[in-house]
Amino acid sequence: MTSRILVMSGDGVGPEICREAVRVLDALVSDHGLDVELDEALVGGAAYDAEGDPLPPTSLAAAREADAVLFGAIGGPQWDGLPRASRPESGLLRLRSELDLFANLRPAMLYPQLAHASALKPAMVSALDIMIVRELTGGIYFGKPAGNGVNEAGRREAWNTMRYDEDEIVRIGRRAFEIARARNGRLCSVDKANVLDVSQLWRDVMTELAAEYPDVELTHMYVDNAAMQLVRAPKQFDTVVTGNLFGDILSDAAAMLTGSIGMLPSAALNATGRGMYEPVHGSAPDIAGQGVANPLAAILSVAMMLRYSLNRGDLADRVEHAVGQALDRGLRTRDIMDDETQIASTQEMGGAIVDMLR
Ligand code: IPM
Ligand code: MG
């Protein structure tokens, strides 16, 4: 059966990296029997400019129809002054919420060819391979009440609520235990249970779930310590599960350990395996349109899509292998350059992957 893929390239470098990812999909269709049809929809600032809404109803409807969404990036300084609901970020958050994409998988792995690019000494990060499982549709990002106003003393105030119910914790917990089981059987749950009630519930539920996964070793860590341990001794982590806000922060820190946020893909999955696939890096407005952005995170996001939504792990392996080969050959976009390698444009890097897939 033909799978439907919706491409939402968004803002900044989004369109140029998605273009390369789509070339990779096209190559898989023509040379490897992948059966997909592609469609496109506006999102983010681009959608706001065209239709006054960062997630127009037609885009949301198209995303609901799709088996998988390839998402580029959203945001830019020209939209920062808009009311919150019109900002590009709101389009992304609504998409996550409306599609119920509660499980966000953010791998942080080091390509041996890029060890020099890490902020840490090579020995600290060699063979680094962490999977951060971030809860994506709850917690303080969506908790009610949220808002702002003026208090009795006439001073401005604002508030958000970090709230989880046990069902939300159970479903992300199960997903994380299963992922840990398929990896090295070690799961670290990150919270702030020494201070927050919501984190105590998180910890209690994770501990209860552990009884169902006797083959997985569950540990708990406070988020402040986890941030420190990530930059002190990152290889102690295998699979990490955490809430929305902590996962947002820790996944950026983990990405930097690999030296190359331009290399990292992510998946956001619902309960039935439909998903949205997105490079971890943002819209990088400072380099947009120059043809220097690294398309590999978007291309590796296609690999995750093949594995998690399209049931084509064989093709995912091929794409990942091609990325390794491109790095072996010394091809580098500007963000991962060193003295011995040759600089490739966005298009040249995408073209190299396509050539290797043919
Ligand atoms: C991310 C981003 C988003 C988030 C923003 C753009 C809303 O930082 O995907 O990590 O905070 O989740
Ligand atoms: Mg973030």
Distance 27 CA to ligand 1 centre (A): 30
Q: Which of these, 150, 139, 43, 126, lies nearest to 89 by C-alpha position?
A: 43
> The domain that contains 300 carries what CATH number?
3.40.718.10
Joined tokens for residue 325: 């080969």
Secondary structure class of 220 (helix, strand, coil): strand
Burial of 200 (0-12, 13-18, 19+ CB in 10 A): middle
Q: Which long-range contacts (CB under 8 A, 24 or more apart) does 78-82 make?
A: 78/45, 79/45, 79/48, 82/48
pLDDT tens by residue, the chain, 358 residues: 899 999 999 999 999 999 999 999 999 999 999 999 999 999 999 999 999 999 999 999 999 999 999 999 999 999 999 999 999 999 999 999 999 999 999 999 999 888 888 889 989 999 999 999 999 999 999 999 999 999 999 999 999 999 999 999 999 999 999 999 999 999 999 999 999 999 999 999 999 999 999 999 999 999 999 999 999 999 999 999 999 999 999 999 999 898 878 899 999 999 998 999 999 999 999 999 999 999 999 999 999 999 999 999 999 999 999 999 999 999 999 988 877 777 999 999 999 999 999 8
Angle (nearest 5°) at CA 190 between 188 and 196: 150
Distance 248 CA to ligand 2 centre (A): 5
- Do residues 178 and 241 share a domain? yes
The residue nearest atom 4 of ligand 1, judged by CA position, is: 248
- Do residues 185 and 313 share a domain? no
Q: What is the DSSP letter of 339?
A: T
Helix ranges restricted to H, the chain: 14-32, 44-51, 57-65, 88-98, 122-125, 166-182, 197-210, 223-232, 244-257, 296-308, 313-328, 346-357
Residue with tokens 């469609």: 39
Domain for residue 130, yes or no? yes
Domain boundary among 233, 258, 283: 258
Cα separation, 74 vs 72, in Å, equals 7
Structural domain containing residue 76 = 1-107+260-358
Residue 204 neighbours by CB distance under 10 Å: 13
Tally the domains of the chain: 2
CA 205 from centre of chain: 25
- Do residues 245 and 209 share a domain? yes
Domain for residue 113, yes or no? no
Ligand nearest to the CA of 139: 1
- Do residues 230 and 285 share a domain? no
The residue nearest atom 6 of ligand 1, judged by CA position, is: 89
- Do residues 279 and 250 share a domain? no
Q: Helices 313-328 & 14-32, crossing angle to 10 degrees?
A: 120
Domain for residue 172, yes or no? yes
**Residue of 43, 69, 89, 134 with the most ligand 1 atoms within 8 Å of its CB, for mutation:** 89
Residue with tokens 């580098």: 332
Q: What is the DSSP letter of 274?
A: -
- Do residues 18 and 67 share a domain? yes
Ligand nearest to the CA of 253: 2
Catalytic residues, by residue number, are: 141, 192, 224, 248, 252
Residue with tokens 């190559």: 27
pLDDT at position 342 is 76
| Ligand 1: nearest atom to the Cα of 248 | 10
pLDDT at position 115 is 86
Residues with CB under 6 A from ligand 1: 89, 92-93, 248
- Do residues 21 and 136 share a domain? no
DSSP characters over 314-325: HHHHHHHHHHHH
pLDDT at position 162 is 98
pLDDT at position 321 is 97
Domain boundary among 226, 258, 290: 258
Secondary structure class of 160 (helix, strand, coil): coil
- Do residues 146 and 221 share a domain? yes
Q: What is the DSSP letter of 164?
A: -
Domain for residue 112, yes or no? no
